[in-house]
Amino acid sequence: MTWFSPSQLLGQQRPPFRLAASPHLHSLIALLLGHQDRRRQLLQIHAQLVAHQPFGQSPAPWHVLLKAYSHGPFPQEALHLFRHARRFLADDTFAFAFALKACAGLGWRRAGAQLHGLVIRKGFEFHAYVHTSLVNAYVVCRCLEEARRAFDEMPVKNVVTWNVMITGFAAWGQVENARILFEHMPCKNVVSWTGLIDGYTRACLYGEAVALFCHMMARGVSPSEITVLAVIPAMSNLGGILMGEMLHGYCEKNGLVSDVRVRNSLIDMYAKIGSVQNSLKVFNEMLGRRNLVSWTSIISGFAMHGLSIEAVELFAEMRREGIRPNRITFLSVLNACNHGGLVEKGLAFFESMVYEYNINPEVKHFGCIIDMLGRAGRLSEAEQIIEGLPAEVNVVVWRTLLGCCSKYGEVEMGQRAIKKILNLERESGGDFAVLSNMLNELGWFSDAEQARKLVDGRKTVKVPGLALVGEIR
pLDDT (tens digit per residue) in 393-427: 677 777 777 778 777 777 778 778 777 776 666 55
Burial (0-12, 13-18, 19+ Cβ within 10 Å), 117: exposed
Closest CA to 82 of 154, 142, 139, 133: 133
Who's near 175: CB < 8 A, 6+ residues apart?
Answer: 169, 196, 199, 200, 203, 205, 208
Q: Which domain, by its residues, includes 249?
A: 187-287
User: Residue 125 and residue 319: Cα distance in Å, rounded?
Assistant: 56
> Quick count: other Cβ atoms within 10 Å of Cβ 242?
10
Q: What is the 3-state secondary structure (H, E, C) of 218-240?
A: HCCCCCCHHHHHHHHHHHHHHCC
The predicted structure's pLDDT at residue 12: 38
Whole-number pLDDT of residue 466: 53
Look at the chain and report how many structural domains it folds into. Answer: 1
Q: Which amino acid is at 378?
A: R
Please check whether residue 137 is in contact with residue 149, taking contact to mean a CB–CB distance below 8 angstroms: no
Q: What is the DSSP string of 108-143?
A: -HHHHHHHHHHHHHHT-TT-HHHHHHHHHHHHHTT-
pLDDT of residue 260: 95
Residue 461: strand, helix, or coil? strand
| Alpha helix ranges (H) inside 20-108 | 25-33, 40-52, 60-71, 76-87, 93-106
Does a structural domain hold residue 72?
no
pLDDT at 452: 57
In a domain, 271, yes or no: yes
263 within domain boundaries: yes
Helix (H, G, I), strand (E, B) or coil at 428: strand
What is the number of residues in the chain? Answer: 473
Cβ(9)–Cβ(32) below 8 Å: yes
Question: Within a domain: residue 219?
Answer: yes
For 461, phi then psi, to 5°, come to -115, 130
pTM over 0.85, yes/no:
no
Residue 461 lies in a domain: no
Residue 193 domain-assigned (yes or no): yes
Backbone angles phi, psi at 428, to 5 degrees: -95, 135
CA distance 446 to 460: 20
Q: Is residue 196 situated within a structural domain?
A: yes
200 lies in a domain?
A: yes
Exposure string for 30-42, b = 16+ CB within 10 A, e = fewer? ebbeeeeeebeeb
Which segments of the chain have a pLDDT < 50? 1-26, 28-37, 51-52, 471-473
**What pLDDT, on the 0 to 100 scale, is given for residue 19?**
39
pLDDT of residue 2: 40
DSSP notation for 266-328: HHHHHHHTT-HHHHHHHHHTTTTT--HHHHHHHHHHHHHTT-HHHHHHHHHHHHHTTPPP-HH
Q: What is the CATH number of the domain that holds 203?
A: 1.25.40
